[in-house]
Amino acid sequence: MIIRKQYKFSAGHIVRNCSSDRCKRSLHGHNYIVEVFFTSTGLDNGHMILDFGLTKGTIKDFIDGFDHCWQYWNKDKKVKEFVRKESARWIEIPVSPSAEQYSLLFMFVIDKIIQATEMNNGEKNVQVSSVRVHETDTGYAEAFRDDLDWVKYSLEDIKLSEQVKAEWKDPEMYDKLIAYTNKDTMDKPFVNEIVEQQV
Would you name the residues annotated as active-site residues?
23, 68, 135
Within its chain, how far is the Cα of 192 from the centroid?
19
Angle at 74 between CA 66 and CA 190, to 5 degrees: 45
The answer to whether the beta carbons of residues 46 and 121 sit under 8 Å apart is yes
DSSP string for 144-159: EGGGGGG----GGGSE
Query: What is the C-alpha to C-alpha distance for residues 31 and 133, in angstroms, rounded to an integer?
Result: 10
Asked if 129 and 39 touch (Cβ cutoff 8 Å), the reply is yes
Q: Is there a contact between 155 and 178 (Cβ–Cβ < 8 Å)? A: yes
- H/E stretch holding 75 reads none
